[in-house]
Amino acid sequence: MDQIETVLFDLDKTIIRLSLSTTEVLARTFNHLGIEQPFSAEEYATVRKQYESTTFRKRQLREKCFVTLLETEGYPPSVGQRAAATYSRLRETAGIDYRPGAQSVINQLSERYPIGLVTNGPEDEQQAKIEAIGLEEYLDVVVFAGNDIPAKPHSRAFSEALSRLNTSPQNAVFVGDSVAEDVTGAADVGMTTVWLSNDDHPSPDTKPDFRIQSLGELLPPPWEDR
């Protein structure tokens, strides 16, 4: 294995977690709007699943769900749009926190390596998450994929970050929780991959170089033992 010079991370469910449940965020949303909550988290999840196979981006998908659910209760689309926007703001800030131990790990790694972030999602939404936890102080590069640059697992999302860091794929490692988006995409461009395992399951054709259960296992870095 070539010497690792740069460490890149995914954001959602890798560095951060949602400290508020969907039920809690929905309750805060409708309380803020002064509306009695018209649907449950389970009903929201059901409608969201119906639309997930469409080409909606995250924010569009969320708005479509709110408009649909509120229209069935007699509310005009404008109320659904306002509710979706309020929910998004709360989800982006009030419900965001570091995963256990993540801040300490990234802080220590940033003293040894340039740190990059490659995250899918609307730039303003993902930037709000970064700022909410003060992550920007550790980052040398951030790529918001799915906007001007194709979303992960497209190779451009990873190569853009590597280019900005002036690092070759062979000298970089990517840490993420998604096999499909993070492990597969990073491996395809030649990066060393670390899978933060959850309920996802790697296919026989996609095997991470390292598998960890928590970010704490990055200290000491497992790639240094090879």
Q: Do 36 and 114 contact (CB within 8 A), yes or no? A: no
**Pairing mode of beta strands 210-212, 115-120:** unpaired
Please give the share of the chain, as a percent, with pLDDT higher than 70.
Answer: 95
42-56, 139-153, 182-196 — which is least confidently predicted?
Answer: 42-56
Q: Which long-range contacts (CB under 8 A, 24 or more apart) does 178-185 make?
A: 178/10, 178/13, 178/152, 179/203, 179/206, 179/208, 180/153, 181/10, 181/120, 181/151, 181/152, 181/153, 182/10, 182/14, 182/152, 182/153, 183/208, 184/153, 185/152, 185/153, 185/154, 185/155, 185/157, 185/158
111 vs 199: which has the higher pLDDT: 111
pLDDT score, position 189: 97
Residue 156: C-alpha distances to residues 21, 103, 182, 185 (Å):
33, 27, 13, 9
Residue 160 has pLDDT above 90, yes or no: yes
Residue 31 has pLDDT above 80, yes or no: yes
Going by C-alpha positions, the residue among 96, 97, 90 that lies closest to residue 28 is 90
Tokens of 78: 């404008």
- Per-residue pLDDT of 62-117, as tens digits, reads 999 999 999 999 999 999 999 999 998 888 777 788 999 999 999 999 999 999 99
**Pairing mode of beta strands 16-18, 210-212:** unpaired
Alpha-carbon span 34 to 178, nearest angstrom: 37
In this prediction the pTM is: 0.80
- Give SS3 for 15: coil
Residue 116: phi and psi, rounded to 5, are: -120, 160
The mean predicted confidence, pLDDT, of the chain is 92
Superfamily of domain 6-16+98-225 in the CATH hierarchy: HAD superfamily/HAD-like (3.40.50.1000)
Q: Do 127 and 154 contact (CB within 8 A), yes or no? A: no
- Domain spans in the chain, listed from the N-terminal domain onward: 6-16+98-225, 22-92
